[in-house]
Structure 1
Amino acid sequence: MYYGYYKITVLLRRKFNLIINKKKVYRLCKELEILRPQRKIKAKHPRKIAKNREITWPNSLWETDVKYGYIHGEDRFFYITSFLDVYDRNVVEYHIGLSCKTENIIIALKRALMKRGLYNKETNLVIRSDNGPQFISNKFQDTCKELKLEHERIPFKTPNKNAHIEAFHRLLEDECLSRSEFNSYAEAYEAVSEYIKFYNKTRIHSSLGYISPTEFYYKTLEGTAKSLVVKL
């Protein structure tokens, strides 16, 4: 018998017309040592709510989110997850795929850290996300803890708290996704990859002094860029 004590109680009442409650069945099963092992419920990480901050240097806060596009030729969706540095506006790394699982986002996060020379190092980097299933998972929370990152989530229905990644995804939609009817996943992948490269290295931003995010990032490291205070 693979039933737990509650189902056994139901069957005893139904098949044998016994007047018996679940507590009695539990005690009997315990005495007979036939109780099924209880499922172990993994404790959830407490949610850290995104708080107001002033960002004055790269690699202080990265925003992340998931966006989807449509492949007309294959009649299916694909997904884009980006990690954007709110100070220099670079898309540090991204994932493009026909699915978007927690594992995919973790791989993209690790690649982003490697690109910035931050992997397995003590940093003050904060990762800010919404409350999507990939980000609230224990696997993502555990990874952030292992990588010594602080993960904070915006309150529900407050996309303005993730404004910079939302703004990038609007540009991606207006300047790339809505302008093409992709015939294949390969075509969509190439188009989005090329757009992100254009966005990082070529597209100028007024908030950065009319230079590209990549140029601004390196000028900041050299000490020749204008100083910014990004308030969130």
Structure 2
Amino acid sequence: MAWMMIDENIAYMSPSSVYRILVDCGLNRRWQKPLGESKKTGFDQPKAIHEHWHMDISYINFKGSFVYLISVLYVASRAVLAWSISTRMESLDTQLVLWDACDKWLGGDKSVAVRLITDNGSQFLTKEFKQILKEFSIHNVRTSVNHPQSNGKLERFHGTIKTELIREIPMYSLEQIREEVGKWIEEYNSLRLHSAIGYVTPMDVFYGRKEKILAERKEKLLEAKLKRKEYSVKANIRLVA
């Protein structure tokens, strides 16, 4: 919230100040962790462009049956590179999504060393899927059996979109699901600030805008601090006078 207000030039307060106000007003319960819960450290995050991609399939309940959300996530920026809503969970569907991600973000550049992390689902083991990996020089890393945490960032993304969208809005047709998911992912990529990447958007990281944004925020906070100090000094002078 603090960074959004700074970016939009609404108010210039540090996150700690905003947090104290939320606590005083009893508005921070959504972000409170249960007592005793500590932050997990995880593993070292990828630094190089396109170093890690994650790909997975998630079930969506729809009219007593299932449709399937297939996504490719770029880990370093948390950007969703490609996605699809399918009525089947077959290899052809995963091939189309992977090809879309590769064609859109890699093009003909085969010098990028992409590591694609998937589970051991049969959709990722077919000859045709492996051919796409070979075509774009992608190294496929499969997660350990019964260890979905290895694909945890994409699992969490799927959980978030289900919680905030799929389970909140009545869905009456496949076309509506695709339209709503498309709008949500566009907002997620381009507008939503992500805590794990410094409270910027995934596309800010992807296009290298992060450091400039952080520097601008720092400058705005410093300028606001100096103005408050100047105002305080003038107020004290008036009181003395």
TM-score of the superposition, structure 2-length normalised? 0.66
- Secondary structure, aligned partner of 1:211: coil
Separation in structure 2 between the aligned mates of residue 126 and residue 194 of structure 1, nearest angstrom? 28
What's the offset of the Cα at 1:123?
A: 2.0
**1:163 maps to which of 152, 173, 180:** 152
Give percent identity, aligned residues only: 25
Moved more, 53-62 or 158-167: 53-62
**2:59 maps to which of 58, 68, 79:** 68
Is the CA contact (8 Å cut-off) linking 1:204 and 1:210 kept in structure 2? yes
Q: Does 1:91 align with 2:87?
A: no
Separation in structure 2 between the aligned mates of residue 119 and residue 97 of structure 1, nearest angstrom? 27
Superposed structure 1 runs of 4+ greater than 2 Å apart = 117-120, 222-226
Is the CA contact (8 Å cut-off) linking 1:61 and 1:125 kept in structure 2? yes
Is the CA contact (8 Å cut-off) linking 2:45 and 2:76 kept in structure 1? no
Is the CA contact (8 Å cut-off) linking 1:216 and 1:225 kept in structure 2? no
Q: Does 1:80 align with 2:56?
A: no
**Which residue does 1:143 correspond to in 2?**
132
Q: 1:119 to 1:70 in 2, by over 3 A?
A: farther
Separation in structure 1 between the aligned mates of residue 174 and residue 199 of structure 2, nearest angstrom? 33
Is the CA contact (8 Å cut-off) linking 1:110 and 1:119 kept in structure 2? no
Separation in structure 1 between the aligned mates of residue 198 and residue 109 of structure 2, nearest angstrom? 33
Q: From the two aligned structures, give the one with the greater helix fraction.
A: 2
Moved more, 108-117 or 193-202: 108-117
What's the offset of the Cα at 1:70?
A: 2.1
**Which residue does 2:120 correspond to in 1?**
131
Q: 1:59 to 1:198 in 2, by over 3 A?
A: same
- Secondary structure, aligned partner of 1:176: helix
- Secondary structure, aligned partner of 1:181: coil
**Which residue does 2:182 correspond to in 1?**
193
Separation in structure 2 between the aligned mates of residue 106 and residue 119 of structure 1, nearest angstrom? 17
Separation in structure 1 between the aligned mates of residue 132 and residue 49 of structure 2, nearest angstrom? 21
What's the offset of the Cα at 1:115?
A: 2.0
Q: Does 1:203 align with 2:192?
A: yes
Q: Which structure has the larger Rg over C-alpha atoms?
A: 1
**Which residue does 1:55 correspond to in 2?**
46
Separation in structure 2 between the aligned mates of residue 202 and residue 195 of structure 1, nearest angstrom? 10
Is the CA contact (8 Å cut-off) linking 2:55 and 2:72 kept in structure 1? yes
More relative contact order in 1 or in 2 (CA 8 Å, sep 6+)? 1
Give ranges in structure 2 of 5+ residues lacking alignment.
Answer: 1-42, 215-241
Separation in structure 1 between the aligned mates of residue 202 and residue 76 of structure 2, nearest angstrom? 9
Count residues in correspondence.
172
What's the offset of the Cα at 1:187?
A: 1.1
What's the offset of the Cα at 1:69?
A: 1.1
C-alpha RMSD of matched pairs (Å): 2.0
- Secondary structure, aligned partner of 1:78: strand
TM-score of the superposition, structure 1-length normalised? 0.68
